[in-house]
Amino acid sequence: MGRLFGTDGARGVANTELTPELAMNIGRAAAMVLINKETEHPKVLIGKDTRLSSDMLEGALIAGLCSVGANVVKLGVVPTPAVAYLIGKYGADAGIMISASHNPFEFNGIKIFNMDGYKLPDELEEQIEAIVLDHAQPFPAYSDDKLGCVIEAETAAIDYVNHVVENVEYRLDGMEIALDCSNGSSSRTAEKLFTALGAKCHMLFDKPNGTNINDDCGSTHMDNLMKYVKEHKLDAGMAFDGDADRCLAVDENGNLVDGDFIIAICAQDLKSRGKLKKDAVVGTILTNMGFNKFCESEGIKFVSTKVGDRYVLEAMRAEGYNLGGEQSGHVIFLDYCTTGDGQMTAAQLLSMMNRRKEKLSDMAKLMSRFPQVMINVKVSNEGKLRFDTDKEIKKEIEESGERLGGRGRILVRASGTEPLIRVMVEGEDSSEITSIANQAAELVRERLV
């Protein structure tokens, strides 16, 4: 796996790359770095998604945490944002989510939150890595009454559902929607949540079996939801990823409404009501160029960060903004959440629709999307490490950028969570950007596979 943490926690193939031993040591090191040493038995929450390996890794993390004196509260299967929220509600010192988000079931991951419900900054992750990988500090060997214990929080899912419901301004009475739960964490919460808000819900992919998470469903596989919404003449559809921190939408015509459009709709609505702080919104370098044009026309300041909702959040907190996110569907409403929350996003968007009595297709007309081509090239782990220093690839990127001029852009980057190089080309001419993307992807394939 190399160093432990990517853009969204530690992640790898469960039991071969992300082993129980490694998980146990991450638990130990996290407690050593995060916990106030004056607290005899700090409290750490653990949530998980529906992957077959989540139980195994949960057991390993519990063993590591208890061995260094931490008490563990098991939340069971819950969304990632539930862990972040419940840290404060339950008075915990930290929280851990076991999930590999949108990845296939054989992968799993460990995301860590501090006592304020925020993902760890790079420097704290590096301290954990130094303890686990470089043995910078020895693990304490506690015994007797210094060992931690384990309890179960039986109301974790409903406590999270109530939190979302309480923060939705306008109910969803009269709406009929489809919810694609990706056979993941939202399978435990989505129907309760949106029914409580008054919507009639059609549930899709809400029967996890340990191996079907993200399997041709969820926010990375939208075709089934798009077809279903159109055929059943519903108001909208909402798709979540495996741990429900992302949301993508489908309008009444079966058309995709991605994260950029969702953020644009919410930003315009909040600004019109004087609720968009500093009239600004935060996105990433992958945000569509059409979003920039939208912001210019609406008098909204656009702030761009590196890819990853953690970097979006850092910029929001540093400057006092309250809305940001990614095209992939990570949307952060900082007035209500400390991380991306797919179900909060869906609820806020649907609430806006119902309050304004507008169709989602009409609301999405506020922005025009520039054509964009994304190619994911699977590479070897060694190839991924060579990417930053490969002169031929760098030359190709520079020359492609010059060809596009002011009509578009090319962005080639290594995935923070998978052995992939992502090639993204955006511009006015679809055939031109497709040709440029294919050429760059083929060079990456030749040199890094």
Query: Tell me, what CATH number does 412's domain have?
Result: 3.30.310.50
Judged by phi (left if over 0) then psi (alpha if -120 to 50, else beta), residue 217 lies in beta
Cα separation, 105 vs 53, whole angstroms: 8
How far apart (Å, rounded) are the C-alpha atoms in residues 390 and 414?
12
Domain boundary among 129, 154, 179: 154
Domain final residue, candidates 322, 340, 366:
366
Largest CA distance in the chain: 69
- Is a pLDDT exceeding 80 seen at residue 175? yes
Q: How far apart are CA 371 and CA 223, in angstroms?
A: 19
Q: Are 31 and 179 part of one and the same domain?
A: no
Q: Are residues 245 and 176 in the same domain?
A: yes
Task: Please report where in the chains the tokens 């005899």 appear, as a residue.
Answer: 40
Distance CA 188, CA 75 (A): 12
Shared domain for 315 and 386, answered yes or no, is no
Q: In this structure, are strands 176-180 and 200-204 parallel, antiparallel, or unpaired?
A: parallel
Question: pTM (2 decimals)?
Answer: 0.89
Q: Specify the 3-state DSSP secondary structure of 177.
A: strand
Cα–Cα separations (whole angstroms), residue 20 to 27, 232, 376: 10, 45, 29
Final residue of a domain: which of 323, 338, 366?
A: 366
- Same domain for 174 and 234, yes or no, is yes
| 119 in the same domain as 238 | no
Q: Residue 141: pLDDT band by 50, 70, 90 thresholds?
A: confident
For residue 356, name the pLDDT band (cuts at 50, 70, 90).
Answer: very high
Residues 247, 330, single domain; the answer is yes
**Distance between the two ends of the chain, CA-based, in angstroms?**
17
Q: Are 51 and 131 in contact (CB under 8 A)?
A: no
118 & 57 share domain = yes
Average pLDDT over residues 121-141: 89
Q: Which residues contact 311 (CB under 8 A, 6 or more apart)?
A: 7, 284, 305
118 and 170 in a common domain: no
CA distances from residue 218 to 1, 61, 80, 157, 204 in whole angstroms, order as listed: 26, 27, 15, 20, 9
Give the percent of the chain with pLDDT over 90.
Answer: 85
For residues 280 and 411, membership in a common domain is answered with no
pLDDT exceeds 50 at position 1 = no
Q: β-pairing, 43-48 with 71-77?
A: parallel
Is residue 221 located within the same domain as residue 316?
yes
**185 and 293 share a domain?**
yes
Q: Each residue of 254-303: pLDDT tens digit?
A: 999 999 999 999 999 999 999 999 999 999 999 999 999 999 999 999 99
Structure tokens at 29: 């090191």
Catalytic residue among 53, 67, 99, 101: 101
**Residue 181 clears pLDDT 70, i.e. is over it:** yes
Q: How many CB atoms lie within 10 A of CB 430?
A: 12
Secondary structure (3-state) at 159: helix
pLDDT tens for 99-116 read: 999 999 999 999 999 999
Give pLDDT, residue 36.
66
Q: Which helix (H) or strand (E) holds 150?
A: strand 150-152
* 236, β-bridge pairs: 177
User: Which residues form the domain of 382?
Assistant: 372-448
If asked whether residues 402 and 345 sit together in one domain, one would say: no
Active site (annotated) includes residue 380: no
The total domain count for the chain is 3
Single-letter residue type at 375: I
Q: Give yes or no for a contact between 247 and 342, defined as CB atoms under 8 angstroms apart.
A: yes
Structure tokens at 284: 């990433």
**DSSP count for the chain of H helices, then E strands:** 15, 19
Q: What is the CATH number of the domain that holds 172?
A: 3.40.120.10
